[in-house]
């Protein structure tokens, strides 16, 4: 199945995936998901948010497995797809063994997990659980200025259908399998681990504003150049995050007007920050904004902060975590990456399985998992479904 997905949304120059909510690649992946479900006689239901659910059986208290199929810009092949593919493979193994589940089993493909197009992480799961308001999501714009509402309409979906559903009345447990985005399992020597917690994290937009002017005719003393405060803020982010043992990243930048021979009028930058607890995260962002403001004031420029997507700390269900760790004889580990499982864990018992990643690299074309470890992940997920269903 991973081989079938190999070429979908892959940039041949970088080898990375560009599978963004509702783009052509995402549409193809949705069709692939529906086709895999149909081939197994599973009924597919797409909710108003674009989340796809393939049902084996019907009724309440279903066991949900699955993950997402979208990617970050130039993402890898495993972040998301490994969980979906492993779920279909687990169903195949269970059926080959003649297993008859005592509760419905549902495979999910959550929409827009990475938030690469509209800026909000886990948009599909946040919408379906009511954590994200439909109005806010629908008004989000992509890089071309097109709103989510317009994109949905163009894809034949009804923007009025976006929002919370009764999913949580039908689903009692969620287990998401995911490639590890770190090297903990390399260190423990295990192919599969169980998640304990997700660090609180978020995305903030910083708008540094100044005055556009000529690069040759404007003496350095007369400039109101917002790039300078931006650069000072990036340097401060490394110092502040390193000192506090937390994480800060600037991975996206827009410069206006964007001419080599013009001082910019505006630098728009996106901060991704993560910490072990919410107090530490707030402190990092406060300190960084203070540093940005001081740098901007010294240059006669300004900076404005807009929170775009903030996810609280997640502690996965303790009894479920311990049960799966014992069942699989697997280590328990926290993660700095966000997941739909984190969103659902606020409502129903939720767990995650991680599959070893030999380099720890993720959100990159170099993301990898050995085939034997992927196989161990399917075996683990199959055991978990047997245990819980």
Q: Which residues bind ligand GLV (CB under 6 A)?
A: 114, 121, 337-338
Cα 87 vs. chain centroid, distance in angstroms?
18
**Nearer of residues 30 and 68 to ligand GLV, judged by Cβ:** 68
**Nearer of residues 295 and 352 to ligand GLV, judged by Cβ:** 352
Residue of the chain from 26, 36, 70, 79 that contacts Mn ion (CB under 5 A): 79
Mask 34-73, x = binds Mn ion (CB under 5 A)?
----------------------------------------
- Local structure of 21: helix, strand or coil: coil
Q: How far is the CB of 82 from Mn ion (least distance, A)?
A: 9
Give CA–CA dist 176/122, Å, rounded.
Answer: 13
Partner from ligand GLV, Mn ion, none binding residue 202, C-beta < 5-8 Å depending on class: none
Q: How far is the CB of 86 from ligand GLV (least distance, A)?
A: 17
Give residue 310's region: left, alpha or beta (phi > 0; psi -120 to 50): beta
Encoded tokens for 89 = 């493979």
Encoded tokens for 12 = 């041949």
Partner from ligand GLV, Mn ion, none binding residue 324, C-beta < 5-8 Å depending on class: none
Q: How far is the CB of 122 from ligand GLV (least distance, A)?
A: 8
Q: How far is the CB of 114 from ligand GLV (least distance, A)?
A: 6
Q: How far is the CB of 175 from ligand GLV (least distance, A)?
A: 18
Encoded tokens for 139 = 């008004």
Encoded tokens for 65 = 């497995």
Phi then psi for 4, rounded to 5 degrees? -65, -30
* Residue 308 · residue 288 · CB < 8 Å: no
**Nearer of residues 114 and 225 to ligand GLV, judged by Cβ:** 114
Partner from ligand GLV, Mn ion, none binding residue 80, C-beta < 5-8 Å depending on class: Mn ion
Give CA–CA dist 208/206, Å, rounded.
Answer: 6
Partner from Mn ion, ligand GLV, none binding residue 194, C-beta < 5-8 Å depending on class: none
Partner from ligand GLV, Mn ion, none binding residue 367, C-beta < 5-8 Å depending on class: none
Partner from ligand GLV, Mn ion, none binding residue 112, C-beta < 5-8 Å depending on class: none
Question: What is residue 77's DSSP assignment?
Answer: S
Which single residue brings its beta carbon nearest to Mn ion? 79
**Nearer of residues 185 and 337 to ligand GLV, judged by Cβ:** 337
Mask 199-238, x = binds Mn ion (CB under 5 A)?
----------------------------------------
**Nearer of residues 150 and 278 to ligand GLV, judged by Cβ:** 278
Phi then psi for 370, rounded to 5 degrees? -65, 150
Residue of the chain from 80, 104, 342, 349 that contacts Mn ion (CB under 5 A): 80
Q: How far is the CB of 76 from ligand GLV (least distance, A)?
A: 11
* Residue 267 · residue 226 · CB < 8 Å: yes
**Nearer of residues 264 and 338 to ligand GLV, judged by Cβ:** 338
* Cβ neighbour number for residue 232 with a 10 Å cutoff: 18
Q: Which of residues 250-279 bind Mn ion (CB under 5 A)?
A: none
**Nearer of residues 128 and 236 to Mn ion, judged by Cβ:** 128
Partner from ligand GLV, Mn ion, none binding residue 206, C-beta < 5-8 Å depending on class: none
Handedness of CA 214, 218, 221, 222 (dihedral sign): negative
**Nearer of residues 81 and 338 to ligand GLV, judged by Cβ:** 338
- Local structure of 252: helix, strand or coil: strand
Residues comprising the chain, all counted: 389
Give CA–CA dist 138/160, Å, rounded.
Answer: 9
Phi then psi for 266, rounded to 5 degrees? -150, 140
Q: How far is the CB of 69 from ligand GLV (least distance, A)?
A: 13
Beta-bridged to residue 138, according to DSSP, are none
- Composition of the chain by helix, strand, coil, percent to 5: 40, 25, 40
Q: What residues contact residue 15 under an 8 Å CB cut-off, 6+ apart?
A: 365
In the complex, the residues that contact Mn ion under the rule CB under 5 A are: 79-80
């Amino acid at each position: 199945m991973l081989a079938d997905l190999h070429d979908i949304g892959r940039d041949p120059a970088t080898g990375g995936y560009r599978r963004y909510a509702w783009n052509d690649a995402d549409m193809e992946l949705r069709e692939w998901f529906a086709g895999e479900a149909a081939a197994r006689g599973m009924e597919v239901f797409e909710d108003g948010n674009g989340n796809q659910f393939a049902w084996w059986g019907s009724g309440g208290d279903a066991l949900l497995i699955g993950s997402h199929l979208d990617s970050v810009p130039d993402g890898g092949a495993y972040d998301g797809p490994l969980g979906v593919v492993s779920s279909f493979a687990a169903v195949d193994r269970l059926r080959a063994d003649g297993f008859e589940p005592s509760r419905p089993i549902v495979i999910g493909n959550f929409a827009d997990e990475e938030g690469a197009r509209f800026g909000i992480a886990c948009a599909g799961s946040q919408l379906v659980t009511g954590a994200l308001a439909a109005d806010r999501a629908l008004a989000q714009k992509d890089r071309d200025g097109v709103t989510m509402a317009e994109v949905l309409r163009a894809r034949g979906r009804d923007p009025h259908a976006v929002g919370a559903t009764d999913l949580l009345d039908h689903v009692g447990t969620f287990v998401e399998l995911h490639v590890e985005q770190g090297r903990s399992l390399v260190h423990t020597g295990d192919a599969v681990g169980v998640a304990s917690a997700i660090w609180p994290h978020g995305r903030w937009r910083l708008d540094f504003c100044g005055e556009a002017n000529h690069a040759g005719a404007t003496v350095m003393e007369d400039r109101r150049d917002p790039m300078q405060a931006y650069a000072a803020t990036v340097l401060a982010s490394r110092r502040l995050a390193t000192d506090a043992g937390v994480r800060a990243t600037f991975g996206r930048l827009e410069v206006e007007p964007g001419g080599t021979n013009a001082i910019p009028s505006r630098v728009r930058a996106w901060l991704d920050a993560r910490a072990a607890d919410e107090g530490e995260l707030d402190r990092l962002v406060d300190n960084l904004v203070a540093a940005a403001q001081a740098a901007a004031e010294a240059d006669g420029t300004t900076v404005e902060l807009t929170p775009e997507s903030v996810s609280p700390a997640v502690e996965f269900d303790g009894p479920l975590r311990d049960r799966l760790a014992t069942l699989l004889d697997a280590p328990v580990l926290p993660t700095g990456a966000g997941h739909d499982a984190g969103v659902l864990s606020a409502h129903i018992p939720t767990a995650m399985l991680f599959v070893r990643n030999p380099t720890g690299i993720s959100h990159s074309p170099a993301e990898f998992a050995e085939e034997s470890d992927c196989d161990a992940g399917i075996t683990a997920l199959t055991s978990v479904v047997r245990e819980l269903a």
